[in-house]
Structure 1
Amino acid sequence: MQMDVENLVADSGIAIIDFAPFLDASNKQDVADRMLASFKDIGFIYLINHGIPPERIAQMFSLSRTFFAQPLEVKMLAPHPPSGTHHRGYSPPGQEKVVQHLYDPDAIAEQRAQAPDVKESFECGRENDQVMPNIWLPEGVLPGFKETCLDFFWLCHEIELNILRALALGLHLPEDYFLKSHTAPDNQLRLLHYPSVPTEALQTEKIARIGQHSDFGSITLLLQDDVGGLEVEDPHVAGVFRPAPPVPGAIAVNAGDFMMRWSNDTIRSTIHRVRAPPGTHADGMTPERYSIPYFCSADFNTVVDCIPGTWDEERPKKYEPISAQEYIMKRLAASY
């Protein structure tokens, strides 16, 4: 099984990077350079020794399973609003359809009409967010849920800042270059549960777990269970997807569309999806899957222009300056 994972990781082309030499400052530039190289090539990395204690990850997954095991009427006590621009609270299976197209309403409608996304989710952010206030279960319904989610949110934020420092160093910028635009933080912690479904229905695309899409913030941190199913598009062959299996002890990190735009397409935001994991199952059912993505965005009041060093006379800017809020709200609205 370990060899299968190693082969799949090698086939995906995603680099496995030890973050410890950056965190302890023993070899920061080498780590930063290798991270940037993978972000430029495929837009993803696997990060080990990232700084999130294994017991905290196990605790968060345990709490996620407990939450999703609650009856629907309990989970709906913290309902996601109908508007896609307020990404907080609980969404039952079928409510959200992840779409890739942003500016073409016909393309959005066409993609939304395809196989439904069979997943449920819970989303939260920082407590003092005036744009998207949190929506929690009533007090006493699931003791400790709010506090554990918030603690994990801030733990992920610490890792985010270190990754942004490394990216800046890889681009030969001051380490705090991105930190100045990530102070709020306007981020989103999402708990995801994919129920067990017939494998044949996933393979024939009668249903979907998450259809092909790219993320739209700065970076995303992804923690997965051991089920698998994440696939990443081959950067050299459009439409060909390769498995990106969970690597023990690692978090997957990928760049989003806003970072790609910010870097004048130097950094790649790669299309990915979640389908049936490799292998067959005797009962014909794909096992349930849990994952925890942490979506990182620049401060909503930040207006960004292309990063210095990513453009010149021979490679002019591809994008006009834009605010993070304007860009992200358009993308959020398209999903609901």
Structure 2
Amino acid sequence: MSTILDMQDKMAIVNPKPPLPEYEYPPETQQQLKYADLVTIDLSVFETPGGPKKLAAQLKEAVHRDGFFYVTNFGLTQCKIDEQFSIAKAFFTLPEEERMNYLAPLEDGSYNGYRPLGSVNIAPGLKDSLEFYSIFKCIPETERSQPQVIRDYWAEIENFSRHMHEKVSYKLLRILEIMFELPENQFVDAHRYEDVCDSSIRYMLYHARSKEENEAYRNVHFAAHTDNGSLTYMFKQPVSALQVQRTPDSEWEYLYVPSGTLAVNVANAFNFLTNGFAKSGFHRVIAPPEDQEHLDRLALLYFLRPTEKLQLTTLDSPFLQKEGYGKTTTENDLNISWHDNWRDNVRSRGMRNYNK
């Protein structure tokens, strides 16, 4: 029996894919903003003798204190990144009625597909300004119908997905294993590409609001939160709207991601697993500065989430014991995988918050 991807390949041979619309990054703000000064690691060092241990030492304070860090030399050219922005732009220019044909099955606890604009009420009578399209890992278990532009560029999407997962994530997971003095591949084996999980590419579009609308929304586009998963990757986005708060007492700072750099957000799985040593990066999206207020904000992200092999069980290790985060109780451990817990959360959140 032919799979969806087999049929897509046959269609591509008969109908060559059209060129993508060119994506141009919007101009950067001219206003003086306070940007977060984060630790930067060079991932090419991983391949050098002793490199993983050096990177683990570099990341210790960033993982514990900030919940965010930067990565350079992660193996993707800016051209490949720009191509993903072009695919995203092509998707969001589709007619709304066509985008609605690819709704994510939120009732099943899955974001695999389209989440429409205005799906969530931020406050009574005030809907969010965000729509997004998630493309799960390119494995048979997550196959679903896709719009033509996604089918046309499936090979490029899969290459991008696999690179972020297998060439970037596996290295960072190995660095974290070394940091926490855990057995080799303990984290990697819980995030294998071929295993079922909700890791995904996400194309996100924040729509511009008028000054009056921003005042009504108190300048908030997405309220302060931490991410549910393992790691979140964010690519260059010149519209200044993403802010981070590194400690409860510190001020909000803008996150700036230059070309050739990847911003990484430590998410809730590692905060839980390490008994709180790894900080979940606290962040929000606000209205852009006045000279960018009229601009839509298109963002490209990759979410790394655990497979069914990772249980909701806190870790213990010599490192965590030395740092004062050693395991002292099992009362918080649950007999459920992180993947199943995540699906349950999405399902209940969808039933509670999403507009029909």
Q: Is the shorter-chain TM-score for this pair beyond 0.5, marking a shared fold?
A: yes
Cα separation, partners in 2 of 1:26 and 1:286, compared to 1, 3 Å: farther
Cα separation, partners in 2 of 1:218 and 1:285, compared to 1, 3 Å: closer
**Where do 5+ consecutive residues of structure 1 fail to align?**
98-110
Which aligned pairs between 1:196-207 and structure 2 lie closer than 5 A? 196-202=208-214, 204-205=216-217
Question: How many angstroms apart in 2 are the aligned matches of 1:56 and 1:192?
Answer: 18
Question: How many angstroms apart in 2 are the aligned matches of 1:4 and 1:176?
Answer: 45
The answer to whether residue 316 in structure 2 is matched with residue 308 in structure 1 is yes
Counterpart of 1:223 in structure 2 is: 235
Indicate if the aligned counterparts of 2:38 and 2:70 stay in contact, CA closer than 8 A.
yes
Aligned-pair Cα RMSD in Å:
3.0
Counterpart of 2:8 in structure 1 is: none
Q: Which amino acid aligns with 1:165?
A: R
Question: How many angstroms apart in 1 are the aligned matches of 2:73 and 2:279?
Answer: 24
Q: Which amino acid aligns with 2:132?
A: S
Counterpart of 1:8 in structure 2 is: 34
Counterpart of 1:32 in structure 2 is: 56
How far apart are 1:6 and its partner, in Å? 11
Q: Deviations over 1:18-54 (max 9, x none)?
A: 2221244463322122223201101010111122222
The answer to whether residue 297 in structure 2 is matched with residue 271 in structure 1 is no
Cα separation, partners in 2 of 1:33 and 1:308, compared to 1, 3 Å: same
Indicate if the aligned counterparts of 1:221 and 1:295 stay in contact, CA closer than 8 A.
yes
Counterpart of 1:71 in structure 2 is: 95
Which aligned pairs between 1:37-186 and structure 2 lie closer than 5 A? 37-83=61-107, 85-96=109-120, 113=124, 115-128=126-139, 130=141, 133-137=143-147, 140=148, 144-158=152-166, 159-183=168-192, 184=195, 186=197
How far apart are 1:2 and its partner, in Å? 9.7
Which aligned pairs between 1:293-304 and structure 2 lie closer than 5 A? 293-304=301-312
Q: Which amino acid aligns with 1:320?
A: D
**Where do 5+ consecutive residues of structure 2 fail to align?**
1-26
SS at match of 2:174: helix
Indicate if the aligned counterparts of 1:121 and 1:193 stay in contact, CA closer than 8 A.
yes
The answer to whether residue 344 in structure 2 is matched with residue 320 in structure 1 is no
Counterpart of 1:106 in structure 2 is: none
Question: How many angstroms apart in 1 are the aligned matches of 2:95 and 2:266?
Answer: 35
Cα separation, partners in 2 of 1:89 and 1:242, compared to 1, 3 Å: same
Question: How many angstroms apart in 1 are the aligned matches of 2:108 and 2:37?
Answer: 33
Q: Which amino acid aligns with 2:169?
A: E
Counterpart of 2:204 in structure 1 is: 192
How far apart are 1:143 and its partner, in Å? 5.2
Question: How many angstroms apart in 2 are the aligned matches of 1:39 and 1:185?
Answer: 26
How far apart are 1:260 and its partner, in Å? 0.6
SS at match of 2:111: coil
Counterpart of 2:20 in structure 1 is: none
Q: Which amino acid aligns with 1:42?
A: D
Q: How much identity, in percent, do the aligned residues show?
A: 20
Q: Residue 232 of structure 1 is aligned with which of 240, 244, 257?
A: 244
Q: Which has the larger radius of gyration?
A: 2
How far apart are 1:65 and its partner, in Å? 1.0
Count of residue correspondences: 314
Question: How many angstroms apart in 1 are the aligned matches of 2:161 and 2:183?
Answer: 26
Deviates more, 1:112-121 or 1:324-333: 112-121
Counterpart of 1:103 in structure 2 is: none
Question: How many angstroms apart in 2 are the aligned matches of 1:207 and 1:83?
Answer: 30
Task: Give the TM-score, by structure 1 length.
Answer: 0.82
Cα separation, partners in 2 of 1:5 and 1:34, compared to 1, 3 Å: farther
Q: Deviations over 1:237-271 (max 9, x none)?
A: 17x42211223321111111111101111100022
Counterpart of 1:101 in structure 2 is: none
Bigger helix share: 2
Cα separation, partners in 2 of 1:314 and 1:168, compared to 1, 3 Å: closer
Q: Which amino acid aligns with 2:127?
A: P
SS at match of 2:235: strand
Question: How many angstroms apart in 2 are the aligned matches of 1:23 and 1:199?
Answer: 49
Q: Which amino acid aligns with 1:177?
A: Q
